[in-house]
């Protein structure tokens, strides 16, 4: 094939591959976590002749994704804060519904009715109807206390179960991040950007940040380390498995599955909010 045809063909091939990338972008327009990709083109190495260098057409040198790592990091921080605030708000609303202060059957109304009955009886000590009314109001107040106690205990059980479920989600996400880390490192050796794998990992990191606050550190081999205050969650292709445990004081703590003396603390996220509700808010009632 003549040189002029080869040069023209290089342009067609480059344009075709660029169109494939564009089609990939369109196909994944609604894919969660997908980042737009584009091609970087450059002139092919020229042919050196006596007269000078002769161009050899164009080629695609890299396919990049348009992602800002700083914004990614900030989004993860915001996700942790929002996740914690949302979980806290949910359980405070449920706590409010337990006391049911906006209805006629509220504890406040039961207390007011009981003390009114005492006041009525103090004025008419011999009145049998006043005695019967006070007895009934006392029973109503007792029932209110029992109802609140039972509902509150059920809520604590539910919160404890929720923490266990969230920790299970943390373990699953950490494991999947470690697996993708390994896949990325294999491709990274060939100096190729595994864009779709990077998107999948970023999506997992975003989901993880909603549950617990995390710090993400990049490695030279394309992997990332994920950590929190207590230590590492993901180190390259390995991850730390967590479990929740109730300590001697009745508080829920998060510990390393292989070492219960290694405790993990979080400053934000859904797990932190649930822990605070169980360990701090719940004990006040």
**How many CB atoms lie under 10 A from the CB of residue 76?**
20
| Structure token digits, residue 216 | 């993400």
Angle 75-76-77 (CA atoms, 0-180°, nearest 5)? Answer: 90
Six-digit token pair at 35? 């980042």
Q: Where are the domains of the chain?
A: 3-66, 70-284
Using CA atoms, how far apart are residues 242 and 65, in angstroms rounded to an integer?
33
| Residue 103 pLDDT | 64
Instruction: Find, among 274, 273, 271, 268, the residue nearest to 215 by Cα.
Output: 268
Entry field: residues in the chain = 285
Report the Cα–Cα distance between both ends of the chain, in Å, rounded: 85
The whole-model pTM stands at: 0.81
Alpha-carbon distance values, 195 to 21, 42, 62, 97, 199 (Å): 11, 20, 11, 47, 6
Tell me the pLDDT of the chain (285 aa) as tens digits.
556 788 888 888 888 888 998 999 899 889 888 889 888 888 888 877 777 777 788 888 888 898 888 888 898 989 998 998 998 888 888 877 777 666 666 667 777 776 776 776 677 666 677 677 767 777 777 877 787 778 888 888 888 999 999 999 999 999 999 999 999 999 888 888 899 999 999 999 999 999 999 999 999 888 999 999 878 899 999 999 998 888 777 788 888 887 777 788 888 999 999 998 888 877 666
């Amino acid at each position: 094939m003549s040189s002029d045809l080869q040069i023209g063909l290089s342009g067609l091939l480059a344009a075709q591959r660029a169109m494939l990338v564009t089609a990939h972008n369109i196909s994944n327009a609604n894919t969660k976590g997908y980042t737009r990709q584009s091609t970087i083109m450059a002139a092919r190495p020229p042919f050196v002749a006596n007269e000078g260098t002769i161009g050899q057409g164009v080629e695609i040198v890299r396919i990049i994704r348009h992602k800002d790592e700083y914004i990614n990091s900030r989004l993860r921080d915001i996700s942790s804060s929002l996740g914690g605030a949302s979980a806290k708000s949910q359980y405070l609303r449920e706590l409010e519904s337990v006391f049911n202060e906006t209805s006629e059957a509220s504890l406040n109304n039961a207390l007011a009715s009981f003390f009114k009955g005492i006041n009525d009886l103090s004025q008419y000590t011999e009145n049998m109807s006043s005695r019967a009314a006070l007895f009934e109001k006392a029973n109503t107040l007792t029932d209110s206390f029992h109802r609140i106690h039972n509902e509150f205990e059920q809520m604590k059980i539910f919160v404890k179960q929720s923490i266990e479920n969230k920790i299970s989600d943390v373990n699953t996400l950490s494991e999947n991040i470690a697996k993708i880390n390994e896949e990325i490192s294999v491709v990274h050796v060939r100096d190729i950007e595994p864009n779709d794998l990077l998107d999948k990992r970023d999506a997992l990191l975003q989901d993880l940040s909603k549950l617990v606050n995390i710090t993400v550190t990049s490695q030279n081999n394309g992997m990332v380390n994920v950590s929190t205050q207590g230590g590492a969650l993901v180190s390259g292709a390995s991850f730390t498995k967590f479990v929740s445990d109730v300590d001697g004081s009745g508080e829920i703590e998060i510990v390393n599955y292989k070492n219960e003396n290694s405790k993990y603390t979080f400053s934000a996220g859904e797990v932190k909010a649930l822990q605070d509700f169980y360990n701090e808010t719940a004990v006040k009632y």
